[in-house]
Structure 1
Amino acid sequence: MQKLKIKTKGKSYALKDSPFYNLRTKKRLSILLGCDTKDLPLLAKDDGNYNVFSIIGKAGKPRQIHKPINKLDKIHTRIASLICRINLPSYVHSGRKKHSNLTNAKAHLSADGFDTKVLTTDIKDFFTSTRKKQVFGFFYSDLKCTADVANLLADMCTIHGHVPTGSRLSMVLAYWANYHLFEELSSLSKQHSVTMTVYVDDLTFSGTGVNELFKTVVRKVLSRYGHTMHPTKTKLYGKESPKLVTGIVVKEGQLQIRNQQFKELVTDFACWHAIRQTPHAIFDPHTYRLLGRLNSMSSIDPVFKEKAQTVKGNTCR
């Protein structure tokens, strides 16, 4: 079975040009989503529409995943494909072509080549703290759907009253459901000559206006919208300090690879050396992991692209 994918078909448009805009009837909704009208109430239920399981996260703690299945999986992919076509503000670096954690970090390199103060933070439990009422507000207030259509969409797009953690829809929907939060933070940043970027649930602010008071105001704004600034993932960096921005070190006016990446690269090379002469080693997960890391590091330092080519040439096919 072909894996479902988000498809924008190269389209992009303003919010008011979305096919969801001013959607008035459930019949029109079913046509837009490619399903029968009678299926809509069934797709709005949690039971039978999700595979719920736990994985162990990087911190070693279990994390619950809500993955839509069967018809709802197709519907979520369709909704995500349509919402992903809505133009995003320039401060958003996730879910956009030619944008990544790298462009997110680059945005915080000062034009004069000198380092500046930086605040990095993470919205704690971003998806699960984005509630159904916020999703409803996006469809009802921003996209001008009728109340019944907006409520039906909000039910179809949430589980247990919040955005699911394992859907293709999760990232883009969580952004738009919190659009007014991000716009308020963007306005606050502009008032203080601060650069702000958003990468999923990571917020980064840089500039001379970044200080403890600015951090406190950001925390209060997040709280007012029902979110929490992650207590252990919030860092206020001084002007001269190396800063870790979406996994990349910003130091002395340049982007640098973090030490943790080099340590993991040594392990990846050791695993690859052990299997590289076995038949079809080029398809081995250890080779994929090593090549993936080298390609990621090459976006900061081109020398690693050459290393990736060397690995390919020395791996059994």
Structure 2
Amino acid sequence: MLNNQYELNQSLLYQCHSKKKLARILQIDIKEMLSISENPQYFSFKKKKKNSMDERDIEAPEASLKKIQRRIFTLLKRIRKPAYLMAGEKGKSTYSNAEFHQYNSFFLKLDMANFYPNCKREYVYNFFFLKMHCSKDVSKILCDLTCHNGALIQGSSASMVLTYFAYEDMFSEIDSFLKSQDLIWTTWVDDITISKSEPFNKDNIILKISRILVAYGHHLKPKKTRYIKSNSPKLVTGVIINKKNDLKVRNQTRNEIIKMFQRFNNRDDFVDTDEFEHLRKQLLGKISFAQQTEPHLFSELRKKVKAKSY
């Protein structure tokens, strides 16, 4: 448990009953807070889903709203949460998520469909009003600042942590059920990984979890459901657990880094500095991601990227 975490009732937002106090907590002038909450501004764009040709709609907040949402995220992320929750948690990463399951042999991977659009405003409101014990007007403002078109948005830092708090009861039901089956599990936003050292009845697990999700307005994506047996490598949030239970960077990620570096190394491909620097940042980000799993992987390549300018 991280030392800087605390219980929900120790949060600054707990029992916030006035707009003035809320503005002070959010570190913003009250008039500006109310103006933004009454007319939140977003810009929309499409982004390709990872490892897919499909696209998802992203609604990104304008600068002032983004700053407020970041503050809400900072306040909520410090509240103590269960070990199975991985995404957005300080000290945890996609590597941590894979490491949690490292020495198990049988895996069930599930994916929730249209997760953010199905995280409805009423659940967010109920979290602030019923669990945080904020007043009705404060709860409404917090919803106005974090929801759009009746749901949580994908382009907000606050959304990742609010998906858990808004649907804490749903996740708790899943946790209780899986514990009763002697299974361990983690969730990375809409990605659920379940594992055990021995075979288990996957159909029973899928049916029960599906029923829990449907009761809260969510559902599974059947085409993403995978049951993986002991003699197969397991892919968990981009990290491979091989037959020896070692954590490795997947070949796809290795190849992407090599191709990006080859392009980066050819300055003639770039029209201007901005394009070059954008690829440079992307490449360093990819290498950092890989080094979470294998710390010394691409070390020399990383030095070359950091040293090279346009």
Instruction: Verify: 1:268 aligned to 2:260, yes or no.
Output: yes
Pick closer, same or farther for the CA change 1:269–1:73 going to 2, 3 Å.
Answer: closer
SS for the counterpart of 1:120 is strand
Structure 1 residue 183 displacement after superposition:
1.6
> Structure 1 pair 210/243, CA: closer, same or farther in 2 (3 Å)?
farther
Paired residue for 1:245? 236
Change in CA separation of 1:55 and 1:256 when aligned onto 2, cut-off 3 Å: closer
Q: Does 1:52 align with 2:44?
A: yes
1:65-101: CA deviation from partner (whole Å, max 9, x where unpaired) = 2222243233222222211221221112221222100
- Indicate the percent of aligned positions where both proteins have the same amino acid: 29
How far off its partner does 1:184 sit? 1.5
Residue 73 of structure 2 aligns with which residue?
80
Distance in 2 (CA, whole Å) between partners of 1:66 and 1:53 is: 7
TM-score normalised to the size of structure 2?
0.86
Asked if 1:300 corresponds to 2:265, the answer is no
Q: How far 1:166 moved relative to its partner?
A: 0.9
Distance 1:44 1:313 in 2: 41
2:173 matches 1:173: no
* Compared CA separation, residues 106 and 44, structure 1 to 2 (3 A): same
Cα distance in 2, alignment partners of residues 232 and 145 from structure 1: 40
Contact 1:272 1:287 in 2 (8 A): yes
- Give yes or no for the alignment of 1:96 onto 2:85: no
**Alpha-carbon distance in structure 1 between the residues aligned to 2:165 and 2:100:** 22
Q: Quick check: 2:287–2:302 contact (8 Å CA) kept in 1?
A: no
Q: Secondary structure at the match of 2:68?
A: helix
| Equivalent of residue 215 in structure 1, options 190, 202, 206 | 206
SS at match of 1:299: helix
Deviations 1:197-222 (A, max 9, x none): 12122111101345221121111111
2:172 counterpart (168, 175, 183):
183
Q: Give the CA deviation at 1:31.
A: 2.5
- 1:200 corresponds in structure 2 to 189
2:16 matched to which residue of 1? 23
Equivalent residue for 2:132, pick from 143, 146, 160: 143
Conserved 8 A contact 2:40-2:65: no
CA contact 2:40–2:145 (8 Å) conserved in 1: no
Partner of 1:233: 224
CA contact 2:40–2:144 (8 Å) conserved in 1 = no
Deviation at 1:48, TM superposition (A): 5.1
Post-superposition offset of 1:287: 3.9
Stretch of structure 1 that moved more, 240-249 or 254-263: 254-263
1:272 Cα deviation after fit: 3.1
Alpha carbons of structure 1 residues 313 and 63: separation in structure 2 relative to 1, 3 Å: closer
Amino acid at match of 2:210: R
CA distance in 2, matches of 1:74, 1:314: 32
The SS at the match of 1:304 is coil
Equivalent position of 1:133 in the other structure:
122
Q: 1:43 and 2:36 equivalent?
A: yes
Q: Does 1:71 align with 2:37?
A: no
Unaligned ranges ≥5, structure 1: 1-9
In 2 relative to 1, CA 48–79 (structure 1 residues): closer, same or farther, beyond 3 Å? closer
The alignment partner of 2:265 has SS state of helix
Q: Indicate the RMSD between aligned Cα atoms, in angstroms.
A: 2.9
Look up the equivalent residue of 2:65 and give its one-letter code: L
Question: What SS does the corresponding residue of 2:224 show, helix, strand or coil?
Answer: coil
TM-score normalised by length of structure 1:
0.84
Which residue of the partner structure matches residue 6 of structure 1?
Answer: none
What SS class does the counterpart of residue 207 from structure 2 fall into? Answer: helix
Q: What do residues 261-281 of structure 1 show as CA deviations (whole Å, max 9, x unaligned)?
A: 2332331232133239x9999
